[in-house]
Amino acid sequence: MSLLENSMDSRDTIGAISTPPGSGGIGIIRMSGPDALAHLKAVFQPFNKTCSFESHRLYYGRVVHPDDKKNLDEVLAVFMAAPKTYTREDVVEIHCHGNFLVLQSILELLLNLGVRLAAPGEFTKLAYLNGRIDLTQAEAVIDILSARTRKGMDMALDQLGGALYKEVDAIRTSLVQMRAVVEVAIDFPDEDIEIVNYASLLKQVRNEVLIPLEKLLRQAEAGKIFRDGISVVIVGQPNVGKSSLLNTLLQEERALVTAIPGTTRDTIEEYLDIQGVPVRIVDTAGIRSEADEVEKLGIERARKQIDQADLVLFMVDGSRGIQAEDRQLFETVNHKPLLVVSNKSDLTSTIIETGDLGFQGDIHSCIYISAKKQQGIEELKDAIFTNVVGGKGQWQEEGCVPNIRHKAALLNAKESVVRLGEGLAMEATSDLLAIDLQDSLEQLNDIVGITTTEDVLDVIFEQFCLGK
C-alpha cells in the first residue's frame, strides 16, 4: 500500500495551535480532515445568522462551549474546502486572541469533540502525501521556519518554489531516457541493428547527468554555511575587550563590561548576520592561570567552545602589544582557524607582529579595531566572511541548495553515474548498464520523495513544530 493510500485510509481530522507559544495579538488553531467543518459548526456561533460557511471566506463570531454555552472568545473563522487547501483536505482555521490560555481552551474543546492532536509537521506531511508538494518543498518549509538570515530565507523560498525539484527532475528525465534505450537492447538482444550507441550515451551521461550532479554537490557544500551558519568564538586574556566587541557586533549591551579582570565568567552567545551567513558569536571568559573556582568553570566552558568553533577571533590589547600570556594562550588555540584581532586601535598605532605569536601568516592576518569607538568592525566582518566562506563560498546567486540528506543521495547517485560512464566506455552489456542506471534513479527518486521510505519521512517531519 502506498504512503498516499495509508494517509487516505486514516481519515482523521487533526488539529493543533499553529502560532508560537506566548502572548500575541492573534493566535491560530488549524484543523484538517473530513470532519473539520462539522467540528467548526459545533463550536462556532457566527454573528451573521445567515452564515453559509462559504469556502475561503472569513466569518466573525465567537467560540462557545456546546454544553454549558460558555463563551471562550470572539474569533474569525474560515473554512477552506478541499482540494484548494494546504493539505488538499478540508481545512478550518480559527483566529482568536493570542493568549495561550484562550488557544489552549479552544483546542481542548475540539480535542474533546474528537479531533486528534496533530503530530509535528503532520499538516505539511499531508500536503506531501496528497501530492500538493514534493519532498524537497516540504523540507523547504523547515528551512523557512528556521532561517536566521535573509539569505537563508531566500534559499528556502527558492526550494519551496521547486528549484531543487526542477534540477533533479531534469537529471532524472535524462536517466529515464537512457534506461529506455538500454531496456530495449535487453528485450531484443538478437537484433542486427545497434540499439545502444555507447559514444552518444557516454556524452549524454557527462553533459546531462554528471556535470549537473557535480554542480548540485558544489551548491550543497557552499549553501550549508548559509543554511546552518558558523560558530565564531572570541578568545583572549582578561580585559582585552572581548565583551566590548560582542556588544559592538550586536549593537546592544549584551555583555557586562568593566575594568575588573574576570567579569565574564560564563560563555555568552548570540546570532548575527554577516553577509547572509548566520554567525553564532560566543564571548568567553578571559583565560588566565589566576582565577577563582567560578571563573575556572567559565574558562573550562570557554575551552570547550574553542574546540567546537569554526573560527577563533584571537584578541589582544594593541595598546600594550603582545604579552607572554598572549603567546601561552595562542599555543592552546592555534590548531583552529583563526584571525588575530588587535583591539584599542584608538589608543595606539602600534603594529602587531603576528609572528611573535607563532602565527603562520603575514601582517595582514591582524585586524585592527577599536571596539569602544566601533572602528574597523566592518573590516572584521569581511575578514570573518572571507575566512570561513573562502573560495568555495564565492556564492553564486543561482539555483538551489541541497541539504545534508540531499547531498548524501547526490553522492550515491554520482557514484552510480561514474560506474555507468565506465561501463559505457568499456561497452559493457546492457543488463550491467541497467543496474547502474536504476541505482542512480533510485537515489534521485529518494530526494524528491518518489520512493522515500516511511522511516525517512518520520525523521524529516519530526523536525517540524506542532501546527505546521
Whether residue 26 sits in one domain with residue 98: yes
Q: Are residues 74 and 177 in the same domain?
A: no
pLDDT in tens, 55-76: 999 999 999 999 999 999 999 9
Please name the amino acid found at residue 33: G
**Are 377 and 300 found together in one domain?**
yes
Residue pLDDT, tens place only, 417-444: 999 999 999 988 888 999 999 999 999 9
Q: Alpha-carbon distance 74 to 66, whole Å? A: 15
Q: How confident is the model at residue 300 (pLDDT cuts 50, 70, 90)?
A: low
- In a domain, residue 464? The reply is no
Cβ count within 10 A of residue 293: 6
Condensed to tens digits (0 to 9), the pLDDT of residues 183-221 reads: 887 776 655 445 678 899 999 999 999 999 999 998 887
Reported in sequence order, the residue ranges of 153-309 that DSSP labels E, i.e. its strands, are: 230-236, 268-274, 277-283
In this structure, what CATH number is given to the domain that contains residue 44?
3.30.1360.120
Residue 273, C-beta contacts closer than 8 angstroms, at least 6 positions apart: 148, 149, 150, 151, 279
Which of the four pLDDT bands, split at 50, 70 and 90, describes residue 254?
A: low
215 part of a folded domain: yes
Q: Provide the percentage of residues in the chain whose pLDDT is more than 90.
A: 41
Contact 432, 416 (CB under 8 A): no
The answer to whether residues 212 and 319 belong to one domain is no
Query: Rounded CA gap, 392 and 413, in Å?
Result: 22
* pLDDT band at residue 14 under the 50/70/90 scheme: very high
User: Which residues, other chains included, contact 158 with Cβ-Cβ below 8 Å and sequence gap of 6+?
Assistant: 399, 400, 401
d(CA 380, CA 375): 10
Specify whether 245 is located in the same domain as 369: yes
Give residue for cell 603562520.
360
- Asked if residue 192 is part of any domain, the answer here is yes
Please indicate, yes or no, if residue 11 is contained in any of the structural domains: yes
**What is the 3-state composition of the chain as percent helix, strand, coil, each rounded to the nearest 5?**
50, 15, 35
**Residue reference for cell 503530530:** 119
Backbone phi and psi for residue 224, each to the nearest 5 degrees, phi listed first: -55, -35
276: alpha, beta or left? (left if phi > 0; alpha if psi -120 to 50): left
% pLDDT > 70, the chain: 84
Position 288 scores a pLDDT of 47
User: Which pTM was predicted?
Assistant: 0.76
Q: Are residues 264 and 199 in the same domain?
A: no
Last residue of one domain, picked from the residues 101, 132, 163: 132
Is the pLDDT higher at 452 or at 9?
452
Q: What is the pLDDT of residue 298?
A: 54
**pLDDT at 259 > cutoff 60:** no
Cα separation of 60 and 48, whole Å?
8
Question: Could you give the CA distance from residue 458 to residue 462 in angstroms, rounded to a whole number?
Answer: 6
Residue 138 in any domain: the answer is no
The mean pLDDT value of the chain amounts to 83
Q: For the segment 377-396, what is each residue's pLDDT rounded down to a tens digit?
A: 999 999 988 887 764 445 55
The verdict on 426 and 287 lying in the same domain is: no
Are 181 and 257 contained in the same domain?
Answer: no
Are 321 and 367 part of one and the same domain? yes
Residue 53 and residue 70 share a domain: yes
**205 to each of 6, 195, 219, how far by Cα in Å?**
37, 17, 20
Question: Considering the domain boundaries, does residue 303 fall inside one?
Answer: yes
| CB-count burial class (<10 Å; 0-12, 13-18, 19+) for 131 | exposed
Residue 453 lies in a domain: no
User: Could you tell me the CATH number of the domain that includes residue 341?
Assistant: 3.40.50.300
**Does the residue 456 lie in any domain?**
no
CATH number, domain with residue 207 = 1.20.120.430
Please check whether residues 40 and 186 belong to one and the same domain: no
Domain count, the chain: 3
Starting at the edge strand found earlier in the chain, the sheet holding 116-117 runs 44-46, 57-64, 71-80, 91-97, 26-32, 14-17, 116-117
In order, the DSSP letters of 48-82 are: STT----TTEEEEEEEE-TTT--EEEEEEEEEE-T
Residue 381 structural domain: 229-393
Q: How far apart (Å, rounded) are the C-alpha atoms in residues 55 and 242? A: 58
Q: Which of 82, 110, 132 is the last residue of a domain?
A: 132
Q: How confident is the model at residue 264 (pLDDT cuts 50, 70, 90)?
A: very low
Asked whether residue 5 carries a pLDDT value surpassing 90, the answer given is no
Residues 75 and 211 both lie in one domain: no
